Structure 1
Amino acid sequence: MAKAKIEQAAGFNPIGVAHDLGLRSNHAYVAGFASVGISLAAWLVSRGKADDSKAQSDRWGIFIGHWAPTFFAIGLALKHEE
């Protein structure tokens, strides 16, 4: 009931659209775990470069690391949609 009221008020359900296009919760979960690995790899590669500072490599790792919770949240919303 609450979901129907929210959809009527908003008029647009981006998670529903993504679900209708074939995106499933498992896809978002895999993307979340992959972003953790990519974050670690970006941090390590950036630390290995001579021209970058330690702070710059930390910022790269943190920037990409912030993607994981977003993907996991989208995965939960898609799971709810399924």
Structure 2
Amino acid sequence: MVVRLLHGAGLRSSHLHAMSLGSVALCLCLWIRAKTVDQHERGNAERRALFTGLWPPTLWLIGDSLREHE
């Protein structure tokens, strides 16, 4: 059902795979940035990077589902 909605909205598997790779890069950038902030803000910045690190597998699997649907 969700896959049909995403496909109908114009998303393709290559879009989701690219988003997955982009979120890996975003996670790395946020992690590096977390090392540059002061100690008081570092915990928040690291949690943001870890949360972003959870996105790639989800996006990749949705992309795989869309590829099977295509």
State the partner residue of 1:61: 49
Paired position in structure 2 for 1:23: 11
Determine what percentage of the aligned residue pairs are the same residue: 29
Shift >4 Å, 4+ stretches: none
Per the normalisation by structure 2, the TM-score is 0.88
Q: Please state if 1:81 is matched with 2:66.
A: no
RMSD, matched Cα: 1.3
Equivalent residue pairs, number: 69
Residue segments in structure 1 that go unaligned for 5+ positions in a row? 1-12
RCO higher in structure (CA 8 A, sep ≥6): 2
TM-score (norm 1): 0.76
Q: Where do 5+ consecutive residues of structure 2 fail to align? A: none
Which of these two proteins has the greater Rg computed from alpha carbons?
A: 1
